[in-house]
Structure 1
Amino acid sequence: MSFRYLGVLGIALSVVASAFVAATSVNAAPRVTIKYAHCCPPDHTYGVYAHQFADKVKEKSNGEIVVEVLDGGVMGTEQAIAQKVQLGTVQMGGITSNNVAQLAPSLNVLVLPYMNDSPDDLTGDGGLLRSGAFRDELNKRVLGESGSLRVIGGFTNSFRSLFAKDKCISTIDDLQGLKIRAPKNPVMTAMWESWDVSTYPIAWGETFGAVATGVVDSFDSPTDVILNMGFHEHIKYITEATYLPLAAVVVINNDFFNGLSADDQKVILEAAEEVDIAHAEYVKENVARVRKALTEDHGVTFCELEDPEVWAEKARGAWPQLYELVGGGKDWVDTTVRYKETGSLE
């Protein structure tokens, strides 16, 4: 056997061994497992974020960190999930901000009506939920109020739209005479009252039946609900307004996070930041897809508001009675408005 042959054989064996080591390192049992809970099915906007994040963490850590996504509300309501993350029973959650606000009232600033005009105000460059000075301050407040919740990301399911069975809602006067379902939420109640409307506080699980039987003939929610849950059988008119976004925060238990190595923390934070950006693009594409399907496949009509400034003026007029629900009160609201206008917290 020649020395040349032995040399080639050695190189070949070295390459095989390196490939084997690389493969086994990727497929080895993870060093860290993170449970991430959320409300919805995996193909829902919240589920899409969760699985994008899980995939990104696995990629960045070479499989050493695994995010176990708990879909479909298996850990309970969003408020229950927030409490579980606070206690560390579940390490992470992607949760609508008003449902985390029970533990960290500063988050209520995100759901004041007409605080934001578009999803970009939250998830675009410089948005309130994007990595930056505002979210750093928000995180500091949330951590102080909750004791253990750290905000590392954020996303939306666009804005709540207005739905009706029998007519377009094009002006504020069109609300009169409608039987409107709305959550029993003090912020939303104050908003509807500012428009001189009394709503029906029907539980979400009963809403489809209430619409089908005529108990109510209107409600609001993200537009994809109409398509994904079959409401298009009864709802034929949609007004895409911009009074209230579905703003969600990605939270992690702070003690768990602090127990990770600096490298692992970097993986988690970078993954969240990249998915925040990618998911915002997904939401834009999904809004267009849903609108197209509802229009072309289900005969739904999309309506335009003719007097949006009237809606905004009246709803913002309700802010003073809502300051007490916001951690930091009027000062934190004013700081948020100033940041949106100037990009500065000062």
Structure 2
Amino acid sequence: MKFVKSIIVPLITSVSMIAAVPLVSADTFKMALGDAAGGTQWELGQKFQTLLSEKTGGKTTVDLFPNGQLGNEQDTVNNASMGILDFSVLAINNVTPFSPSVGLLTMPYVILSPEEAKTLTQGKIGQQLVQNTINDAGVRIVGWAYSGFRVLTNSKRPIESLSDLKGLVIRVPRNEIMMSTYQAWGVNPTPMAWSETFTGLQLGVVDGQDNPYITIDAMKFNEVQKYVTNIRYIFSIEPLIISESVFQAQKPAMQAIILEAGKEATEHSYAFLLESEDKIKKSLVAKGMVISTPSNGEKEWIDVATKTVWPKFYDSIGGKVKLDEALATLGRTTN
């Protein structure tokens, strides 16, 4: 929260006069996408683009800018908060630095299925997180993309136990919860910008990374990674955000259309995941990737992460009560 404000305060006076007129009156919005075309972000963005055009009789369009063309994902949050970017689709972990409570959705092993991801994001808890993000970061979540679990890939060997991780250099985003999880597993993770990840894997600067199957396929990681381990530590959720200042500048009818299009695009994203993930896994195997599953049902991975990592981040997500509320919603409890 402080980070966002420290940037907004000195810049907003110089930016607002330039940005306000085109953003309020323009019939074309810009949407940033962190991933390449073909992935979950692109699918959500395209669906939203189509719906917004249909619902406004073709009067409103959305231009998509994939593969980080408008800056890295955290930059797009900051730019949207200042009103100089309309929309962005990005990984939830890149919203967390601006609105810490959404870190609830990146706590390891809180979400254990696509259904649970949908339950949390589209229910009461999701509504709370939307409001928190408006208050903290000046951006509004209007849709959710569901990408599946972040599975682990590497170029060295099959990984089935935590001991197999020893010696591997794993790329992670600059996210404290994710870094802390790998540290608990005995790995010294290497934070690396998303735009540098493919090259880092290709050159052997890092041995592995984690992302959903859909992202692995879209980014062609099969060209630089051979082994996949089916872990479920984080279900990848990628919100569609709009600048709150841009949203408030719209007429009520347009605001309603944006929210409706976001809801329908969210449903489309969920269906897309269920329809495509198995096909993508088979395609990656056909391209030479080897998929393995952790022994003993991932028990040691879960035990270490939940007992070591969860307590460290209770305060940042709003207290243990927030985690308890999420688990109760899913029919589970903390230990």
- TM-score scaled to structure 1, two decimals? 0.80
Match status 1:275 vs 2:274 = no
Structure 1 residues 159, 140: CA separation in 2 closer, same or farther (over 3 Å shift)? same
* Equivalent of 1:129 in 93, 110, 121: 121
Question: Equivalent residue for 1:154?
Answer: 144
CA contact (8 A) 1:39 1:72 kept: yes
More contact order relative to length (CA 8 Å, sep ≥ 6):
2
Secondary structure class of the residue paired with 2:209: strand
Show the 5 A alignment for 1:258-297.
258-296=248-286
- Count how many residue pairs are aligned between Structure 1 and Structure 2: 306
Deviation, structure 1 residue 214: 4.3
- Take 1:214 and 1:101, find their aligned partners in 2: how far apart are those partners? 29
CA contact (8 A) 2:144 2:269 kept: no
Question: Equivalent residue for 2:111?
Answer: 116
Deviation, structure 1 residue 114: 0.8
Secondary structure class of the residue paired with 1:191: helix
CA contact (8 A) 1:129 1:155 kept: no
Match status 1:316 vs 2:306 = yes
Question: Equivalent residue for 1:67?
Answer: 62
- Matched residue type, 2:293: E
* Equivalent of 2:238 in 244, 248, 254: 248
Structure 1 residues 100, 288: CA separation in 2 closer, same or farther (over 3 Å shift)? same
Moved more, 54-63 or 183-192: 183-192
Moved more, 162-171 or 202-211: 202-211
- Take 1:238 and 1:268, find their aligned partners in 2: how far apart are those partners? 38
Secondary structure class of the residue paired with 1:129: helix
Question: Equivalent residue for 1:299?
Answer: 288
Over the aligned positions, Cα root-mean-square deviation in angstroms equals: 2.3
- Matched residue type, 1:256: V
Secondary structure class of the residue paired with 1:88: coil
Structure 1 residues 92, 184: CA separation in 2 closer, same or farther (over 3 Å shift)? closer
Structure 1 residues 170, 265: CA separation in 2 closer, same or farther (over 3 Å shift)? same
Secondary structure class of the residue paired with 1:68: strand
Secondary structure class of the residue paired with 1:341: coil
Question: Equivalent residue for 1:88?
Answer: 83
CA contact (8 A) 2:35 2:219 kept: no
Secondary structure class of the residue paired with 2:90: strand
- TM-score scaled to structure 2, two decimals? 0.83
- Matched residue type, 1:44: G
CA contact (8 A) 1:42 1:51 kept: no
CA contact (8 A) 2:94 2:175 kept: no
- Which structure's CA Rg is the greater one? 1
1:239-296 superposed Cα distances (whole Å, 9 cap, x missing partner):
1211012211122222332332332222111111111111111123332222111112
- Matched residue type, 2:84: T
Deviation, structure 1 residue 232: 2.4
Deviation, structure 1 residue 94: 1.5
- Take 1:253 and 1:184, find their aligned partners in 2: how far apart are those partners? 23
- Take 2:145 and 2:204, find their aligned partners in 1: how far apart are those partners? 34
Show the 5 A alignment for 1:326-337.
326=317, 328-337=318-327
- Take 1:175 and 1:245, find their aligned partners in 2: how far apart are those partners? 21
Alignment gaps of 5+ in structure 2:
1-24
Show the 5 A alignment for 1:165-184.
165-184=155-174
- Take 1:303 and 1:247, find their aligned partners in 2: how far apart are those partners? 23
